[in-house]
A and B are shown apart, each in its own frame.
Chain A
Amino acid sequence: MTACARPGYLPKIQFQNPDISGDPYGWDGCQAYAAAMAADFDTCGAVGLTGRQVRQLTDEPRPDPRSPGLNLRQIDDALNRYGVDLEVRYRLPWDDFVRRINKGEGAVLDGATGPLLTTKFRSTYGDINHAMFVPPGWGAMDPAADGHRSYVHRYDGQPYPKDLLRRFAGHLALTYVNGKPIRLGLGYVYAAFTRDRRSTWTWAPAKLTRFRVYQCDEGTHRIIGRHWAKPTSKAPHTCTPPRLYRDPTTGTSRSLVRMLAGEFAGGYVNAVHATEVP
């Protein structure tokens, strides 16, 4: 559950098309428009940001011409300024994504549109990295799905087939090597969930091998130290929900949890081994 206590509340659809949004950067902004709908959903409409406003709140208010889109870290930072804290997850198993949407959470889902192109849910001309907001009920809200072309789907609230969204998510191009995309892979997800404030999380190591324990600054959400550690048992211990922390050594962010108990209490560890207690 999110901060919004109205079961069944759906955000207003926001289209990125500049002819509708008035946003000159609209076609670059699906991530910002999906984020705006996530903020609407998370607060039952109390945070009524537009996609255009979300772009202006990021560290890239004017699109970088070499790479004009946005990523999940940027929209999370932008919404934090309005008190909306998304839970960003990298390489989350698809089954976990399904469980959380079915439980009533919403999420910005990143993917690439290749699998949509041959379906009635097509919204882009080519196969591109794209983002949409997925609410409970699976009526995905695609900011490009405004019906402005004959081949472009118009949002009507109808549920998307889960397998189609699974293929959209796995098709995400993570990077390019010699001009060829390296894709995330079927069964995994890059997503930003509206936060479940009642959830309990635990963390347990998958193996008894060395792993990183980080120190983080909660004011700036930055990693300020790290060391190797070796667990002595695989017993789970309670931890915070995952969140992103900026890693100054790589320039990227890591999804970490802070241990609340156990031998690493107080330290931050990789969220990939964290589990939400059902």
Chain B
Amino acid sequence: MTDIEDIDDLVEDQPDPEPKNDRVEEPEEEPA
């Protein structure tokens, strides 16, 4: 049985993602 305190523990302990920026893609031609 998981009580609410255990769920809070899990949330507290989750690592945050560390997203990167993406490459700025250059279209071959100027879009209309």
A interface SS class: mixed
Q: How many A-B residue pairs have CB under 8 A?
A: 92
Pairwise interchain contact B20-A70, C-beta atoms closer than 8 A? yes
A residues 65-97 in Cβ contact with B at 8 Å: 67-73, 90-91
User: A131 in the interface, Cβ–Cβ < 8 Å?
Assistant: yes
Pairwise interchain contact B15-A68, C-beta atoms closer than 8 A? no
Convert A112-148 into 0s and 1s, putting 1 for each residue whose CB lies closer than 8 angstroms to a CB of B: 0000000000011110111100000000000010000
Pairwise interchain contact A210-B21, C-beta atoms closer than 8 A? no
Distance, CA A109 to CA B23, complexed state (A): 16
B residues 1-32 in Cβ contact with A at 8 Å: 4-5, 8-9, 12-13, 15-27, 30-31
Nearest B residue (CB) for A27? B24
A125-B31, A144-B24, A150-B30 given as contacts; is B18 within 8 A of A209 (CB)?
Answer: no
Nearest B residue (CB) for A255? B16
Pairwise interchain contact A110-B18, C-beta atoms closer than 8 A? no
Pairwise interchain contact B9-A71, C-beta atoms closer than 8 A? no
Pairwise interchain contact B9-A110, C-beta atoms closer than 8 A? no
* Interface residue from A27, A209, A254 paired with B15 (Cβ < 8 Å): A254
